A and B are shown apart, each in its own frame.
Chain A
């Protein structure tokens, strides 16, 4: 079974920063200017089988995050189609949807509701989320007192508590300390054993080789190579100058 299918996907964004005011809109209307667009993904096709873990690698700005956003259903492709089967849970940015003035516990409930958990499910899983995060008594403190590592621990704990069919992760797990990093990898391994699909964007060669069966290498929105993780990684390493 195919869990994720990208079929000739092109996604572009317009350069519009700072041009969101009424006068800009009117000027556009009068002059009929077409803003230059920037193609984040160019004709990208790939498939992920159910139960597979696939890494997306490539330099900054190569389109990794765009792929994750399309897979999560946050953005739509301009051309082509994206299909994802099953419940998706995404961990894209530290504490998206967390509010600094609310306590950890309050944020957990809001986030659980946003991710589609019901009241009963949230109550049932609350203890587990707090335990997994290892936040302890800080759970009743406002989130603005949390370190970035603590925020990430809680975000990861909520994301995995949803019990998704497809987990989408954007290289955030690098923020935690060694112990939590190991805990996250262990959790993802248990997802793998449970036959769930994982799509992971990362810069960590080690994580890809240890964890993923296949990899997709992107550069400037193009797929450079895709296939078995160690083969793609070997080619990728050969193309980038070795870092010290």
Chain B
């Protein structure tokens, strides 16, 4: 704030991420396994429902892997967006008492979700190999699309966390939004069955775009289409620019509303 803080950003982020991580896992007997159990259970249930009950798979590959390519991006989005949104209010003690740059708080909150994300990506890669698919040169696009995606979510978290200070229902709106999004992202259905007129709209949904890119890379073993990556780049830049703008605008009044 006002440039009075001259610290070590890297050390600060490391400590805040580690803090979140420790708090979350200290009270869990299974610790880090929880990060694996949730996606595995969901994957099992969705696989059962859509390959046994509705038996209509247009997956073009092993259905569990197909589902997991959808679940991992979605899970990260849902939890990072929500914890990011509430981060400023949840850390009221810091905002009111420590003159640390406020932007750090929502960004650290999103980044600490990346710890789970990395575990889940590892699971995804292990499963890919287990289904007999081999890494190829297209795998180098994985970090690119995932980093763009994390930047996109950081932007959203910045904007939403600032708004949540003034309108406390924001978190409930985000929760409902996440619920709706589960159906609007092709997690358990394929892009191929989406009617033509909606495909364009789907492409502009960054969560759906990442699902598509992940399936391209891991299952179809091709690099994602350039237009898809341009969309993701635009989504990341736009969200970050808007997020920073909203955050800067509201930040001076955090103190008295928290």
Listed in ascending order, the chain A residues whose CB lies under 8 Å from chain B are 13-14, 16, 20-22, 25, 69, 72-76, 84, 87-88, 90, 92-93, 96-97, 99, 101-102, 106, 109-110, 113-119, 122
Cβ of B168 under 8 Å from chain A: yes
27 contacts between A and B (CB under 8 A): A13-B256, A22-B167, A25-B166, A69-B96, A73-B1, A73-B2, A74-B99, A74-B255, A76-B2, A87-B6, A90-B98, A93-B97, A96-B98, A97-B93, A101-B26, A101-B27, A102-B22, A106-B19, A106-B22, A114-B100, A116-B6, A116-B100, A117-B7, A118-B7, A118-B11, A119-B8, A122-B11
The residues of B that contact A92 with a CB separation of less than 8 Å are 97
Q: Which of B97, B166, B252 contacts A97 (CB 8 A)?
A: B97
**B11 x A113 contact (CB < 8 A):** yes
Interface contacts beyond A74-B1, A88-B99, A101-B26: sample of 6 additional A-B pairs, CB < 8 Å, sorted by A = A76-B252, A93-B96, A113-B7, A115-B98, A118-B11, A119-B8
Cβ of B12 under 8 Å from chain A: yes
Complex CA–CA separation, A116 to B7 (angstroms): 4
Interface residues of B in 1-48 (CB under 8 A from A): 1-2, 4-8, 11-12, 14-16, 18-19, 22-23, 26-27
Q: Which of B8, B97, B168 contacts A117 (CB 8 A)?
A: B8
Cβ of B194 under 8 Å from chain A: no
The residues of A that contact B8 with a CB separation of less than 8 Å are 113, 116-119
The residues of B that contact A116 with a CB separation of less than 8 Å are 5-8, 100
**A119 x B11 contact (CB < 8 A):** yes
Q: Interface size (B, Cβ < 8 Å)?
A: 33
Q: Which of A84, A102, A113 contacts B12 (CB 8 A)?
A: A113
Tell me whether chain B's interface is mostly helix, strand or loop, or mixed: helix
Tell me whether chain A's interface is mostly helix, strand or loop, or mixed: loop
**B98 x A84 contact (CB < 8 A):** no
CB distance from A82 to the nearest CB of B (A): 9
Complex CA–CA separation, A105 to B7 (angstroms): 20
**B23 x A102 contact (CB < 8 A):** yes
CB distance from A4 to the nearest CB of B (A): 13
Q: Which of A25, A90, A102, A119 contacts B167 (CB 8 A)?
A: A25
**B255 x A110 contact (CB < 8 A):** no
**B26 x A110 contact (CB < 8 A):** no
Nearest A residue to B26, CB-CB = A101
Cβ of B197 under 8 Å from chain A: no
Complex CA–CA separation, A102 to B255 (angstroms): 26
Given contacts A22-B167, A99-B19, A102-B22, contact A75 B255 (CB under 8 A): yes
CB distance from B15 to the nearest CB of A (A): 4
Nearest A residue to B93, CB-CB = A96
**B169 x A21 contact (CB < 8 A):** yes
Cβ of B257 under 8 Å from chain A: yes
The residues of A that contact B255 with a CB separation of less than 8 Å are 69, 74-76
The residues of A that contact B27 with a CB separation of less than 8 Å are 101
Which residue of B5, B16, B94, B98 has the most chain A CB atoms within 10 A of its CB atom? B98
Complex CA–CA separation, A80 to B2 (angstroms): 16
**B257 x A16 contact (CB < 8 A):** yes
The residues of B that contact A84 with a CB separation of less than 8 Å are 4
CB distance from A188 to the nearest CB of B (A): 20
